[in-house]
Every structure is written in structure tokens, then in C-alpha cells.
Chain A
């Protein structure tokens, strides 16, 4: 057997190694997990009109910790799971200056209002006409929740439902920071 052919005999099985390495890397990462490029950046300012007709303007909220939650009535079960936690967190922290805003994504007026009354949400919720705000926040599905610090920067993005524990951790961390 010539040298070239014995080299070839080894090289062919060895060619599988980089392919396996690539596959091993690829299957360990979650393709659905996409880091938001917005974390650490200033949050986009928006002005929406809440379901009850009052204006909701992010520009007027500088110096306060803001939680922006994107939801929809058709987003079952995730949005339904997190809804009571959001209301609990809002009740627990509103006296310490927390602002919570719900943005209704790709929804119809009537089912959205029914969702709000079902959970008795007392924080402002507004429909996002034309999804302008949602695209500004890089939302690709609901629920998504953004935590904005007193300086107006996005500090954390949660994809999927938020839990009591997560809300508590993030809100207390940001409330503890100086303006």
C-alpha cells in the first residue's frame, strides 16, 4: 500500500471529526434563544393610549424603574400564567415607585379587554396599533417583558412568562440602584 493511499485512509474517517464537532456545538445551543441587542441600550420612548383612554408616555417616566410587558389575549397559556404575577408585583412595588406598562400585541379590542378584566389588571395597558412599539422593542413573540432602570436603559429582557421570583429579583435590583 502506497503512502498516499494510507494517508487517504486516515484522512477520510478524520474528516468526520469537524462535522461531529459542529453538530455537537449546534445541538447544545438553543436556536430559539436569541439575545436581545437592546439590553444595556436606552429604551425606546413611546406614547400610547391605554384601553381606558389615558395616555401612557415612557418619556415622562425617567428616574423610575419601568417594567414593560408585551402580551396578547390569544397567547395561551403563557400570558395567562404570568398575568397574576404581574398584577401581584405591581401591587407590591407601586408604592416604591415602580411603573408597569402592559402593551397589547397583535390583538383585537374585545378579547384584550376581556383578558384585562379577567385578571383585574390595575396597571395601565395599551394596544399597540400597527405594532410600532413592539418592533421598536424587537418583540418577536409574546409574552416578553423588559426591565428598564432609572436611567432609562433596558437592563433585562425576559422571553416567555415571568414568575413572581423573577419579577421580585429584577425589580428589587433596579429599585435599589440610585437614579
Chain B
């Protein structure tokens, strides 16, 4: 009985450790209404004259770090919604105007707060989200190790095995063989 309880607690600790706390804490809001899905727009073929050539990889890189504002847990890069496409256009424009990916990211953070970032910045209270899962996994492993060692060291039971009266033994045999049929 006690072993079962111990095991449950260990499993709980391990489970919590492995659970991605980050996304659970920083949940995205439900939009009051979902923006109607837009047909895929082709990316501009050529950048406007005078602008820097922008690699779509860089646009995707920045977009993948930003939360789509009308979605639940989707990045701007992954969302097919119209606002996500428009945000990608904004990213592309800003990169073309000579901003670095960090500056583009900072622009969105300035407007939406760190909420817009899919990965919470590793500082302050947010550190908890980054550290706690690993600490919990570590503690869980230590606990499992200690408990297992204790169980394996426990001397074999010295109490004599309870004796069975022959009638009971015969009945068990009979019922097992019936069950196998």
C-alpha cells in the first residue's frame, strides 16, 4: 500500500517535470472572433527598388518566434490566418528597410509586450518556467534512485510463508485450471 503511494508521488513529480509549463502559463487569448482564413497570398517576387534583398528564411525565422495574435498557440510562421500573413509582410518590409531580425522582434515586443514571443525571455519570474521542469526531473530521478535502492536493500522477508491448508491449495489449483480453459 505504502509502496503504491510512494510510486504515485514519484510518477506525479516526474510527470510535472516533463510537462511543458511554459505554454501552460503563457496561454494565448481567444480572439473575440476568428479572423476569416485568407487564401494563401504569393510572396512578393522581387523586393521594391532601393530596398535590401530579404531572404524568406530570415522572414520565417522571425515569424516563427512570434505568436499569431488570433490563434491558440500558433506562430506567425505557421498560421494561415490573414493577420499572420500581414504580420509576415510587416516583418519582410522592416527587414527590407535594413532592420536586423532582433530589431524587428523588438518592434513587436514594444507593441504587444513579451506576450508576443512564443518563448518567454529567460529572465526574472520567467526563469522559473525554464528552470523548474529540469529541477523537478532531477529531484524525481534522485527520489526514484533513493527509493529503488532502499527497496533492493531491504532484506528478504523473514516471516514464514503463510501455510495453506490442503483444501485451499486444491481449490486454487482447480480454479486456475478452470480459468485457463
Cβ contact of A31, chosen from B13, B27, B31, B143, cutoff 8 A: B27
Which residues of chain A have C-beta atoms less than 8 A from B54's C-beta?
A: none
Cβ contact of B70, chosen from A31, A132, A141, A143, cutoff 8 A: A141
Contacts A130-B89, A135-B87 given; does A37 touch B111 at CB 8 Å: yes
Kindly state whether residue A75 has any CB partner on chain B within 8 Å. yes
Total residue contacts A-B, CB cutoff 8 A: 79
The smallest beta-carbon distance between B115 and chain A, in angstroms, is: 5
Bound Cα distance from A31 to B29, whole angstroms: 7
Would A8 and B146 count as touching, CB distance under 8 A? yes
Interface size on B, residues (CB 8 A): 36
B64-104 contacts to A (CB < 8 Å): 69-70, 82-83, 86-87, 89-90
Would A106 and B83 count as touching, CB distance under 8 A? yes
Would A141 and B32 count as touching, CB distance under 8 A? yes
Chain B proximity mask over A1-41: 1 for CB below 8 Å, otherwise 0? 00001001000110110010000001000011011111000
Contacts A34-B115, A106-B83, A135-B87 given; does A141 touch B13 at CB 8 Å: no
Contacts A5-B150, A26-B25 given; does A135 touch B90 at CB 8 Å: yes
Kindly state whether residue A63 has any CB partner on chain B within 8 Å. no
Would B33 and A15 count as touching, CB distance under 8 A? no
Best-buried of A72, A134, A138, A160 by chain B (most CB within 10 Å): A138
Would B9 and A74 count as touching, CB distance under 8 A? no
Would B9 and A15 count as touching, CB distance under 8 A? yes
Kindly state whether residue A122 has any CB partner on chain B within 8 Å. no
Would A132 and B90 count as touching, CB distance under 8 A? yes
Would B111 and A137 count as touching, CB distance under 8 A? yes
Best-buried of B6, B12, B33, B89 by chain A (most CB within 10 Å): B33
Contacts A74-B36, A76-B33 given; does A141 touch B69 at CB 8 Å: yes
Contacts A31-B29, A141-B29, A141-B31 given; does A36 touch B87 at CB 8 Å: no
- By secondary structure, the B interface counts as helix
Cβ contact of B31, chosen from A19, A132, A140, cutoff 8 A: A140
Would B150 and A37 count as touching, CB distance under 8 A? no
B120-157 contacts to A (CB < 8 Å): 139, 143, 146-147, 150
Would B115 and A142 count as touching, CB distance under 8 A? no
Closest residue of chain B to A15, judged by CB?
B13
A119-162 contacts to B (CB < 8 Å): 130-132, 134-143, 160
Would A160 and B32 count as touching, CB distance under 8 A? yes
Cβ contact of B32, chosen from A34, A132, A137, A143, cutoff 8 A: A143
Kindly state whether residue B30 has any CB partner on chain A within 8 Å. yes
Chain A proximity mask over B149-180: 1 for CB below 8 Å, otherwise 0? 01000000000000000000000000000000
Bound Cα distance from A139 to B115, whole angstroms: 12
- A interface list, Cβ under 8 A from B: 5, 8, 12-13, 15-16, 19, 26, 31-32, 34-38, 72, 74-76, 78, 106, 130-132, 134-143, 160
21 A-B pairs in the complex with CB atoms less than 8 angstroms apart: A8-B147, A12-B143, A15-B9, A15-B139, A26-B24, A31-B29, A32-B27, A34-B29, A34-B113, A37-B113, A106-B35, A130-B89, A130-B90, A131-B87, A135-B86, A135-B108, A137-B111, A140-B69, A140-B70, A141-B32, A143-B32
